[in-house]
């Protein structure tokens, strides 16, 4: 179910009646906008950075239990992945805004309830409701929008919970129900190592799109248990070809160690702590053994997917987690040799999902989700966020300014030779991620904010 982008007569093209107002975010917008000299860059930042709060947050503050539902944009449903990523750029402002803190605490609570309902689901309705996918051949419930098993969904929920706790030390969202849900989450990850059987998850869909359903009667393609965690779908919601999605397994290592660190303080005697650390170490070791391949041009790099039999898929997808985004998620160091090789591969035509315009002015990683040769602004943003090369960052900003198709917003994807041909006019994650890039550059006192107008 899609909806049009909210419109109004608010200032700078923002909705006249925003869904949530944060004084700290508004102050940050004013502070950073004042130092941006490029008029288009300034206008896009003012519209994009608050887009999640302006258009997608449904917040209820009832007594001591705030509740927050965050839609992805033009689809009126909440993804665990997207909702975390959408609010992530505001996290550092929590100490300055108690209401913003409560809104994000409400999202931690809502995500916990969603996982308790079904740890295999990727997207949820706001309570029982209708979904266009309710006839999928899987264990659908009225509260589910979609039930695609995506390893990164659970990792993003940990990322949000850990980020909020680390900043606030607020224990209230992490009650006995949360702990019980974390046990379910970790048990699901262990289940999807598939050491003895395929586990309970099955998924098929009546569809003409091969990537929207799973082979082998809903189990997915064969794998050999090697310690990695199977993910039947990518963060794009496309089916994996090989069941071990490498970027998501890297993310799982980070997330399990974050969860263990939280539990050290919150529940120091709980055996889940050791379970998390043991599983993280096992997955990390399995990645080293099974996910590094020798590319004929780029040398030792991370594969995108593997199956434990020695087969590997050589590509990268714009959706995060991606190979390009590994340092952003804290999985590898930006100067790690294998990452540097992998990055060179991902940002080249050796990656089958890397595209350029005919005049070579626009380039970036796309996704099978939007077919070829569409470029995702998210990949250009992530390229800048994982770069220390000032020329590369400038190039990324120039391409982002040229990618909006005249809308002043980021989109899901665009055609390299015609940015006015884009998908998803209302995609809050991409908008807010662009805002994160600009706030990051501002925190570094980057000269990029004074780039000249084209």
Tens of pLDDT, residue by residue over 250-296, are 999 999 999 999 999 999 999 999 999 999 999 999 999 999 999 99
Tens of pLDDT, residue by residue over 369-404, are 999 999 999 999 999 999 999 999 999 999 999 999
Measured on CA atoms in the order 185, 186, 188, 192, is the torsion positive or negative?
positive
Q: What is the distance between the alpha carbons of residues 86 and 246, in angstroms, rounded to a whole number?
A: 23
pLDDT greater than 70 at residue 9: no
Tens of pLDDT, residue by residue over 308-349, are 999 999 999 999 999 999 999 999 999 999 999 999 999 999
Residue with tokens 């250009």: 380
Transcribe 294-307 into DSSP letters.
EETTTEEEE-SEE-
Transcribe 395-418 into DSSP letters.
HHHHHHHHSSTTSSS--SEEETTE
Q: What is the distance between the alpha carbons of residues 264 and 257, in angstroms, rounded to a whole number?
A: 11
What local confidence, expressed as pLDDT, does residue 453 receive?
65
**Looking at 105-119, 410-424, 435-449, which range is the least confident one?**
435-449
Tens of pLDDT, residue by residue over 61-99, are 977 799 999 999 999 999 999 999 999 999 999 999 999
Q: Are strands 292-295 and 312-313 parallel, antiparallel or unpaired?
A: unpaired
Transcribe 95-161 into DSSP letters.
GG-HHHHHHHHHHHHHHHHHHHH-TT-SEE-SSS---TTTTSBS---TTEEE----HHHHHHHHHHH
Tens of pLDDT, residue by residue over 104-123, are 999 999 999 999 999 999 99
Give the predicted TM-score (pTM) of the model. 0.97
Q: What is the distance between the alpha carbons of residues 301 and 292, in angstroms, rounded to a whole number?
A: 6
Domains, the chain, in order of start with CATH, read 11-450 (1.50.10.10)
Residue with tokens 């995108």: 304
What local confidence, expressed as pLDDT, does residue 306 receive?
99
Under DSSP, is residue 194 helix (H, G, I), strand (E, B) or coil? Answer: coil
Measured on CA atoms in the order 40, 46, 51, 54, is the torsion positive or negative?
negative
């Amino acid at each position: 179910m899609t909806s049009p982008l909210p419109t109004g007569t608010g200032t700078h093209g923002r909705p006249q009646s925003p869904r949530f107002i944060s004084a700290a975010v508004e102050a940050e917008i004013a502070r950073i906008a004042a130092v941006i000299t490029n008029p288009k860059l300034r206008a896009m930042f003012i519209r994009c950075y608050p887009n999640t709060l302006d258009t997608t947050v449904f917040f209820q503050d009832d007594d001591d239990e705030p509740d927050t539902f965050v839609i992805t944009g033009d689809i009126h449903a909440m993804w665990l992945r997207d909702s975390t990523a959408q609010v992530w750029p505001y996290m550092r402002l929590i100490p300055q805004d108690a209401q913003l803190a409560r809104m994000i605490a409400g999202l931690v609570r809502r995500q916990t309830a969603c996982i308790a309902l079904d740890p295999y689901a990727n997207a949820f309705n706001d309570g029982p409701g209708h979904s266009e996918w309710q006839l999928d051949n899987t264990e659908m419930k009225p509260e589910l929008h979609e039930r695609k098993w995506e390893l990164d969904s659970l990792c993003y929920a940990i990322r949000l919970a850990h980020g909020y706790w680390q900043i606030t030390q607020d224990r209230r969202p992490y009650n006995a129900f949360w702990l019980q849900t974390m046990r379910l989450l970790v048990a699901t990850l262990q289940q999807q190592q598939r050491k003895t059987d395929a586990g309970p998850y099955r998924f098929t869909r009546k569809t003409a799109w091969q990537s929207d359903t799973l082979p082998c009667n809903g189990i997915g393609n064969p794998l050999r248990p090697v310690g990695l965690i199977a993910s039947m779908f990518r963060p794009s919601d496309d089916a994996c070809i090989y069941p071990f999605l490498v970027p998501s397994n890297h993310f799982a290592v980070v997330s399990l160690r974050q969860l263990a660190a939280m539990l050290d303080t919150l529940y120091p005697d709980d055996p889940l702590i050791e379970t998390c650390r043991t599983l993280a170490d096992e997955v990390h070791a399995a990645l080293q053994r099974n996910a590094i391949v020798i590319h004929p041009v780029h040398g030792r790099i991370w594969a995108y997917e593997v199956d434990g039999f020695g087969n590997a898929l050589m590509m990268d997808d714009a959706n995060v987690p991606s190979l390009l985004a590994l340092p952003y998620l804290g999985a590898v160091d930006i100067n790690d040799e294998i990452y540097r090789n992998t990055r060179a591969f991902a940002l080249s035509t050796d990656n089958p999902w890397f595209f350029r315009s005919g005049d070579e002015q626009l380039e970036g990683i796309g996704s099978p989700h939007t077919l070829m040769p569409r470029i995702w602004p998210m990949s250009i943003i992530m390229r800048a966020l994982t770069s220390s090369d000032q020329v590369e960052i400038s190039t990324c900003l120039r391409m982002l300014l040229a990618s909006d198709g005249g809308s002043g917003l980021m989109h899901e994807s665009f055609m390299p030779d015609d940015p006015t041909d884009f998908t998803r006019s209302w995609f809050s994650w991409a908008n807010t991620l662009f805002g994160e890039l600009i706030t990051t550059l501002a925190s570094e006192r980057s000269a990029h904010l004074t780039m000249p107008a084209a």
